[in-house]
Structure 1
Amino acid sequence: MRVKMERLTLKKWIVSTLFITLLFVMVIFEEVTAPPDALASIQITGSAAFSSPPTIHEITERVTRVKNLSYNSSKNSLLDIYYPENAPASMPVILWIHGGGYIGGSKDSRQDYAMALADAGYVVANIDYALAPESLYPRPVVQANQALAYMQLHAAEYGGDMNRVFIGGDSAGAQIASQVAALISNTELAEKMAIQPAISNSQLQGAVLLCGLYNLDTVRATAFPNIDKYLAAYTGVEPFESFSKIDELSTVQHVSSNFPPVFITVGDADPFVSQSTELVDVLQSHDIPVNSVFFEGTQKNLKHEYQYDLSMEDAQETLQKTIQFLSVQGE
């Protein structure tokens, strides 16, 4: 009898162990095979939480959303357009490019922020683009230019004035946005990349750059978590510094006197502080108007992408300063 009990106990132990092992394997498999967007959210550590504007319900009632318009036939070439319902006949246009380490992120996660901008009197085109490592550089830059071409044709349908265009983005999206601004304002870069800008430099009124990277020669030294992996995935080369076209991604190398006015911000606890200050120094050396919101020395501990945590007063103030910049430059 005792032998039978021991065998039964052993059998139960084996079954339990196999069950627990199976669960563990399933969890590991889910993490390893997670889609790029999920991987980005796991790997980008130290970022602020996203929180909607306190008045998002009122904004939602005032802003019209047109979802998932195709600006190109290639993969991940959809954009959303937001515009205020009771809008003036002609409004400036903002092209917004999300971040996510080039491997993740989506326009949907930036919707509330983009709607807050639209609520201030703008037509906002919030785009998706192809993600690494499935799609490599310069695909997102090409797609952003294609999105501008789409808006050139269709912005007026929503009250947009393509003679008053802004381009903006956050994190990796800020790098892409800054490169597109350089592409539009610097013919040498456009020729080097063999890209014909969809709009002229006179149409581009400004750039809004949030928590981005702008110098690929110095970005590794920021110790931003996994930055080497993100850029290796984006360029298809490891180490990323050996990529033959790496200089094209460094906006600090392509600022000219034609670069548009810039609004730029970064949190004091963001590893990309030095990237933003480097760009500001270059912009100012070319006499480009710059509105900067920095927090160095404040000990506020504002993390990467702090501007999207709109439950915080600092993020709310930065949003209002962004809108003020847009208003002045878009007159």
Structure 2
Amino acid sequence: MKQKLTATVPAKWLLPLILTVLLVTLTILENFIFSEDASANPDSQGTAIYSPPPYFLEIQEEVTVVKDLVYSDSDHARLDIYRPADMTENLPLVLWIHGGGYVGGSKDTRQDYAMALAHEGYVVANIDYALAPEQLYPGPIFQANEALAFLEQYAHLYRADFSHIFFGGDSAGAQIASHLAAAVSNEELATDMEFLPAIAADNVRGVLLMCGLYNMDTVRATGFQNIDTFLSAYTGTVPFESFEHIDQLSTVQHITEDYPPAFITVGDADPFVSQSKELVAALEAENVAVDTLFFNGKGLLHEYQYSLHTEEAQLAFEWMIAFMDANSR
């Protein structure tokens, strides 16, 4: 007679075991989803296919690029700077934060878009940051702040106007950018996070938020693929809703009248449509200026704005530049 053997995992080992399994899962996801860029992989989430603007050869000739500046001693703390080659005066600064579910992506996958922004008359700092699960929340917020401190120190070298700053990002990067803006403009949140802003809130002239997530109480209900995996990796907690500081990640809960003006867009077939609309409602409730670009009946996927061969992505770019021009000149 064969004896059936059973094993019980001690409770103290359970969370480390879960996180180990999560790390293996994320490694697989990163290999298949984030090998180049999540926004460029149409099979990863029903995301748009990346394409540069039709005049990109002209952009390359007219934009100066400085690569891989080390902005702090943190892991993966590098940034690229893009600026018009013929600039004759200081120009507004854009801090761009890439997406990738907190576990993937890189500044290199946003280079063409950052160059297109610079071509319109801006100094663009496109940053890398350490990824989850090796770095947990609030790591990217603090790294973005370190990048701002570095940029302020060397702004004179790159002709950046530090009195006119925009935070921008896509997907998870949009969440990080929106959160950074909240931490800079909301003293109570900054205190809770033990966060010391590197810049004055008045210097932030706007946020550029594309296809992001902004409410941790409702984001699971969007059905966004692997959202529980991504946020569990970022928080180090399973399920992510039980993370002790989860409310800090919900930008909608930290909007005050001092929050900077916002440009918000999302594709109509993106699961995060409701997240963008929740943020718009929170901003309007505090009388914060907000420009939106939403669609109906277009079938625009997550990260649609990077498909710059399409009319809708070009429209989003034009509207974003108009918003920036109106808030920086």
| TM-score, reference length from structure 1 | 0.88
1:302 is aligned, of 281, 300, 303, to 300
Cα RMSD over matched residues? 1.6
CA distance in 2, matches of 1:102, 1:52: 24
Tell me how far apart the structure 1 counterparts of residues 277 and 267 of structure 2 sit (CA, whole Å). 12
Residue correspondence of structure 1 range 159-308 to structure 2 within 5 A: 159-295=159-295, 298-308=296-306
Q: Deviations over 1:91-145 (max 9, x none)?
A: 0000000000000001011011111110010000000000011111111011001
Moved more, 85-94 or 180-189: 85-94
Q: Secondary structure at the match of 1:125?
A: strand
Q: Deviations over 1:4-36 (max 9, x none)?
A: xxxxxxxxxxxxxxxxxxxxxxxxxx9588388
Query: Larger radius of gyration, structure 1 or 2?
Result: 1
- One-letter amino acid of the counterpart of residue 301, structure 1: G
Instruction: Report the AA paired with residue 37 of structure 1.
Output: F
Shift of 1:38: 2.5
Distance in 2 separating the partners of 1:250 and 1:113: 27
Give the counterpart letter for 1:307 in structure 2.
Q
After superposing on structure 2, the runs of 4+ consecutive aligned residues of structure 1 that deviate more than 3 Å are: 30-37, 39-44
Match of 2:77 in 1: 77
Within-5 A mapping of 1:39-188: 41=38, 44-188=44-188
Within 2, Cα distance between the matches of 1:115 and 1:40? 17
- Does the aligned pair in 1 maintain the 2:207–2:262 contact within 8 Å? yes
1:108 maps to a residue whose letter is D
CA displacement at 1:223 relative to structure 2: 0.2
Task: Give the counterpart letter for 2:279 in structure 1.
Answer: L
Contact between 1:36 and 1:103, CA under 8 Å: does it hold in 2? no
How far did residue 291 of structure 1 move?
0.5
Tell me the distance in 1 between the aligned counterparts of 2:87 and 2:304. Answer: 29
Q: Hey, what's the Cα distance between the residues in 1 that align with 2:99 and 2:144?
A: 13
Amino acid in structure 2 at the alignment position of 1:299? G
Report the equivalent of 2:318.
Answer: 320
Normalising to structure 2: TM-score of the pair?
Answer: 0.89
Residue aligned with 1:202, SS: helix
- Contact 2:36 2:105 survives alignment (8 Å): no
Tell me, in whole angstroms, the C-alpha distance in 2 between the residues paired with 1:40 and 1:67. Answer: 19
- Conserved? CA contact 2:97–2:127, under 8 Å: yes
Q: How far does residue 73 in structure 1 lie from its aligned partner after superposition?
A: 1.1
Out of 22, 38, 43, the position equivalent to 2:35 is 38
Between the aligned residues of both structures, percent identity stands at 55
1:23 aligned partner: none
Partner of 2:8: none
In 2, the alpha carbon distance for the partners of 1:69 and 1:119 equals 20
Distance 1:58 1:165 in 2: 26
Contact 1:93/1:122 (8 A) holds in 2: yes
Alignment-mate amino acid for residue 31 of structure 2: A
Contact 1:177–1:207 (Cα < 8 Å) also in 2: yes
Shift of 1:156: 2.0
Residue 194 to residue 217, structure 1, CA distance change in 2 (3 Å): same
SS of residue matched to 1:141 = helix
| Residue ranges of structure 1 left out of the alignment (5+ in a row) | 1-29
CA distance in 2, matches of 1:50, 1:254: 32
Aligned residues: 300
* Equivalent pair of 1:99/1:173 in contact (CA under 8 Å): yes
The Cα shift of 1:45 comes to 1.3
